[in-house]
Amino acid sequence: MRQTLPALLAALALAPLPAQQPGGQHPRPRPYPVFESAAFQRAVDRGTRTRTGHPGPRYWQQWAEYRLEAELDAEAHRLIGRGTVRYSNRSPDTLRTIFFHLYQNLFAPEAIRNEPVPLTTGMELRHVAVGGETLARRDPADPAPGYTIDATILRIRPRAPLPPGGAVALAFEWAFTVPQDGAPRMGRDSAVYYLAYWYPQLAVYDDLGGWQLDPYLGNAEFYMGYADYDVAITVPEGWLVAATGTLANPDEVLSPLVRERLALSRTVDTVVPVVRADERGAGPGHATPRGRGGTLTWRFRAANVRDFAWGASRHWVWDATRASAGAAAAGSQATPSIHAFYRPTAKTWDRAAHYARHSVEFLSRLLWPYPYPHMTAVDGIASCGGMEYPMMTCIGGERDTLSLYGVMVHEIAHMWFPMQVGSDEKRYSWLDEGLTRFNQAEGMRDFFAGYDRLRQSRQGYLAAVRGGWEVELMRHGDLYPYGTPAFAVASYEKMALNLAMLRALLGEELFSRAYREYGRRWINRHPSPYDFWNSFEDVTGRDLDWFWRTWWFETWTLDQAIAAVRPAGDSLEIVIEDRGLAPMPVRLAVTRADASIQWLELPVETWLQGARLQVVRLAARPEVIRLEIDPAGAFPDVDRANQVWTRDAPAR
C-alpha cells in the first residue's frame, strides 16, 4: 500500500521496537512501506496518475511528427540528414524552451561517457530553425532566441513560448561520421551499416518530472516519446534497407521478382527466400533496379512509435514469412510480416525467420497481440550485441542455435516493453530489461521444451551476492559500479527472478492477469515504478509493500534453514530459522516413509512481525524421512544445503 512520506514518518514514530529474540539474538529488520515520491504525489493530486495503477483522468503526453531525409555516403562513411519536426504541446504548461537529444555526440572526443567508444566528431548541426526562422547558436547565459548544445543535449529557445494546446515546427540539417564497430548499439563494419540515434530526437516532457534531460553516457538506455515518422533514406543501388515502419515505395526500390516473393510470404506459413545470394545487387535479375546517379531512395512510414532505426547492406540476403499474432488489436495486423536480413556466411541465420516467428507468436499469447505490421531481425555489427528498435532488432556476433534464439526472443520481447509500454529506461532499467528477461525465459522454455533460462539468472544473482557487489534495482542506470556486472544483475537477472517469485506467491493465473493488465493500461504511455506496483496491488487485492521494499530497494538476502528436528511426544517438531534479511513465506515439503508428501506453507507475516524462528509440529507417524524448503527453487535462497534434512543426516 502506497504511503506518502509524512504518513510514513508518523507511522514509524508510533511503531514499537521489535522485541529481542530468544537467546539474545537481535531482531530482524522489518520492511517499511514504499512511500510515494513527491513527483508522483503531485501527479496524483493533479489527476494524471492514480493509486490504483490506472492512468489518471487528466493524464497527458506530448506528440510529434517527424519528416526526415538521410543520405548515406558509403565511401566517406558519412550520413547527411535534414528534416522537420512538428511538436504538439498537450501538457497544461507553457514551454519556453524545447529540448532534443543529439545522441551522436557520445562519440565526440570531449564527450563524457561511462564506457569506451570509437571516436568521431559527433553530430555536426548545420541548421536549426523554429517556425521558419533560422536560429543562431548562443552562449547558455544569452536569453535571446537561439540554441545551445551541452554534450548530448540540444536546448532551443524559440522567439515565442509554446502554449498549452499549441504546436511548433522545427527544422534541422546535420551530418556525422558513422562510428566504426565498437560503438554501442549502432555503427558500421565492412559489410553492414546500422543507423540508430541518427537524428535530433525530442526529449520527453512528462507529468512527473517535466523535461527528462539526462545525457547519454553510453551505458543506460533511453526514454522516448511517441511520434509518427515519414523517412526517406538514400543509399547506393543494389543495397537492401531494413527499417522501422512500412516501405512506401516498393515499386521504386525492389525488383518485380522480389515484390512477387514478398507478396507470397504474406500468404504462406513457410519461409520464402526473398533475395538469394546470387541475386544481390542492382539491375535485371537482381534485388533492386538501377538508380539515378547510382543511388535509390527508400521511403518508410511508421505510426505511433518511439523511435526510427534502419540498416543497410549490399551483402545481405533476405528471408520472409508471416506470424499469427492472434486477435488483432485496433490498428494492428493479425498476421504481421517477419523479415530476416543476414550475410549468407552467418551461422544459424538461415533459421532466423523461424525464430522470429515463434517469438512473435509466443509473446502474443503470453502478453497481448503484436501490434506492428512487421518484425525484422538483421545480422548487424558485432557491437550491436542484441539491441531493440521499433519493429526491428540488430543482432551481432557469431551465435549458435541457443544463443541466436535467446537473443532474438529477448529483443522481440522488447516490442512490448518498452516499445509499447514506454517506461524510462535510463532511471528504471529493470522496468523494461527485467520484464523482458523474464519473457525471454518463458519463450526459451517453450521453444526448447523446458529449457530453464531463469537458472542462469539465479546463478548470476547469487554470484553477485556472494561476491559482495550486488546493487539495488532502484538506481539510475548510469550510476552502477563500473567494471562489474552489477547493472546487468540488478536490471536483468534479479528483476526476472522478482517476477518469478511474484508468480510463485500469487499463482500463475492471478500473476498473469495482473502482469497483462499492467501492460495494457500503459500501452503507448509512460508508466513509472509506482504505476507498476499499484497496478499489481489493484488487480490482486494484495498489499505487497514488503515484497517491493525487500527486492527493489534493498540488497537483503534470503536464507531459510531447517535449524532443528526433534521429537515432541507423539509429534515431531521442526524449527525453521530465517537467517537472512529478506522475508518470504516458507514452503516445506515433508516426505514420509510411505512415500507420501505433505506440503506446508508458513506465511510471511511471522517474519514481518520480527520473528527469527518458527516451530512446526507434525505427526511423527508415518516416519518423516526427508524435509525440504522450497524444493521447486522458486525463491533465490543463498544456501540450499541448509534447506534439506534427511533422517540420516543432522540439520545444519
State yes or no: pLDDT of 15 exceeds 70. Answer: no
Is 386 a residue whose pLDDT tops 70? Answer: yes
Per-residue confidence (pLDDT) for residue 326, from 0 to 100: 83
Model confidence at 55: pLDDT above 60: yes
pLDDT value for 308? 98
Residue 19 has pLDDT above 90, yes or no: no
Give pLDDT, residue 303.
98
The arithmetic mean of pLDDT across residues 365-377, rounded, is: 97
Is the confidence at residue 7, as pLDDT, over 80? no
CA distance 583 to 36: 22
Q: Indicate the pLDDT class of residue 650, thresholds 50, 70 and 90.
A: low
pLDDT tops 70 at residue 14: no
**pLDDT band at residue 332 using 50, 70 and 90 as cut-offs:** low
In this prediction, residue 25 has a pLDDT band, given cuts at 50, 70 and 90, of low
Mean pLDDT of the chain: 94
pLDDT tens figures, 166-175 = 999 999 999 9
Show Cβ contacts of residue 161 under 8 Å, excluding neighbours closer than 6 positions.
Answer: 94, 95, 96
Closest CA to 280 of 309, 247, 237, 320: 237
pLDDT at 151 over 90: yes
Contact call for residues 206 and 333 (beta carbons, < 8 A): no
What is the share, in percent, of the chain residues with pLDDT greater than 90?
A: 93
Q: CA 214, 36, 481 angle in degrees (round to 5)?
A: 40
The tens digit of pLDDT for each residue in 562-574 reads 999 999 999 999 9
Q: Is 193 helix (H, G, I), strand (E, B) or coil?
A: strand
Of all residues in the chain, what percent carry a pLDDT higher than 70?
Answer: 94
**pLDDT tens digit sequence for 401-456:** 999 999 999 999 999 999 999 999 999 999 999 999 999 999 999 999 999 999 99
- CA dist 356 and 379 (Å) reads 13
Q: DSSP of 596-623, one letter per residue?
A: -EEEEEE-THHHHTT-SEEEEEEE--SP
Per-residue confidence (pLDDT) for residue 651, from 0 to 100 = 54
Cβ-based neighbours of 296, under 8 Å, separated by 6 or more: 234, 235, 236, 237, 239, 252, 253, 282, 288, 289
Beta-carbon contacts of residue 79 (< 8 Å; ≥ 6 apart): 70, 71, 72, 73, 175, 176, 178, 195, 198
Q: Provide the greatest CA pair distance for the chain.
A: 96
409/440 Cα distance (integer angstroms) = 6
pLDDT score of 545: 97
The residue to which cell 531481425 is assigned: 377
Residues whose CB is less than 8 angstroms from the CB of residue 312 and which lie 6 or more positions away in sequence, other chains included: 72, 192, 193, 195, 233, 235, 239, 240, 241, 242
- For residue 474, pLDDT beyond 50: yes
Residue 24 has pLDDT above 50, yes or no: no
Q: Is the pLDDT of residue 358 over 70?
A: yes
- How is 485-525 classified by DSSP, letter by letter? THHHIIIIIIHHHHHHHHHHHH-HHHHHHHHHHHHHHTTTB
Least confident of 9-13, 95-99, 145-149, 157-161: 9-13
CB 308 within 8 A of CB 345: no
pLDDT above 50 for 262 = yes
pLDDT, residue 224, reads 98
**Could you give phi then psi for residue 294, rounded to 5 degrees?**
80, 10
User: Would you say residue 190 has pLDDT above 70?
Assistant: yes
What pLDDT is attached to residue 510?
98
Q: What is the pLDDT of residue 28?
A: 78
User: Which DSSP string do the residues of 381-435 spell out, in sequence order?
Assistant: -GGGSEEEETTEEEE-S---HHHHHHHHHHHHHTTTTTTTB---TTT-THHHHHH
**Stretch 130-148: mean pLDDT:** 96
Confidence label for 310 from pLDDT (cuts 50, 70 and 90) = very high
Task: State the pLDDT at residue 30.
Answer: 86
